[in-house]
Amino acid sequence: MPKGIIGKKIGMTRVFKNGKAIPVTVIQVEPNYVVDIKTEEKDGYSAVVLGAGNRKEKRTPKPLLGVFKKAGLKPLKTLSEFPLKEGEELQLGQEVKVEEIFEKGDLVDITGISKGRGFASAMKRWDFSGFKKSHGSRYHRAVGSIGACEDPGRVWKTKRMPGHYGNEKITVLGLEVVDILPEKNVILVKGSVPGAPNSVVKLKESVILQRRKGQRKLKRSKEAYAS
């Protein structure tokens, strides 16, 4: 099986376990299908391309139509590539289910596009504290000095200033899988996930599993959800 899957963020709620309220994000995993398979002999690495969501044929590029036709699938809206687990083999057109990849207590990394907030001030964009709120102060939410006069005589690159905020690809690491509801194609993940409701997110096996801290967290998570 692949080390990830494509889903859609529904929203947030909470579940109760051992008398404690756990905030969770509800992610609906629509049917994922194997669109293409990368092999060591042909591509130099082993991976699988998954697709999800419906797409109109007239809005699909002809090269992609050939790929879908080869896999025996109708055009799919979202495509994403995931590495394969060792010793796993898949077939073109095969359906992949979330319960086949993850289980309770697993740690996952989730990637999504954050909410776009348009043009924002420096206080909102960079969490600046602002100036004095007392009477007589002319500056409350201003940026302040952005550079010297003669030297360097310009504004440094990466200077934190007002500008476009949000609408960026963000990955949150090491979120715990609280529950999986196969009959509803839903997975519950502890904590918040980037993106607006009904936005596409990608769930992957967490990279922090290679770290000691991640291994300890996984062990505690497995013990908690096994009880």
| Among 26-40, 73-87, 91-105, 109-123, the range of highest mean pLDDT | 109-123
User: For residue 204, what pLDDT is reported?
Assistant: 92
Beta strand pairing status for 200-205 and 4-17?
antiparallel
User: For residue 159, what pLDDT is reported?
Assistant: 92
Please say if the pLDDT value at position 227 is more than 80. no
User: For residue 71, what pLDDT is reported?
Assistant: 87
Compute the average pLDDT of residues 8-12: 94
Question: Does this model's pTM top 0.75?
Answer: yes
Q: Give per-residue pLDDT as tens, 183-214.
A: 999 999 999 999 999 999 999 998 988 888 88
Domain ranges of the chain: 4-116+169-226, 117-165
Look at 5-14, 66-75, 82-91, 159-168 and tell me which has the smallest mean pLDDT: 82-91
Q: Give per-residue pLDDT as tens, 138-155.
A: 889 888 888 888 888 889
Which fold would CATH assign to domain 117-165? Answer: Ribosomal protein L3; domain 3 (4.10.960)
The percent of residues above 70 in pLDDT, for the chain, comes to 99
Compute the average pLDDT of residues 124-139: 90
Q: What is the mean pLDDT of the chain?
A: 89
CATH class, domain 4-116+169-226, is mainly beta
User: For residue 108, what pLDDT is reported?
Assistant: 93
SS3 string of the chain?
A: CECEEEEEEEEEEEEEECCEEEEEEEEECCCEEEEEEECHHHHCCCEEEEEEEECCHHHCCHHHHHHHHHHCCCCEEEEEEEEECCCCCCCCCCEECHHHCCCCCCEEEEEEECCCCCEECHHHHHCCCCCCCCCCCCCCCCCCCCCCCCCCCCCCCCCCCCEECCCCEEEEEEEEEEEEEHHHCEEEEECCCCCCCCCEEEEEECHHHHCHHHHHHHHHHHHHHHC
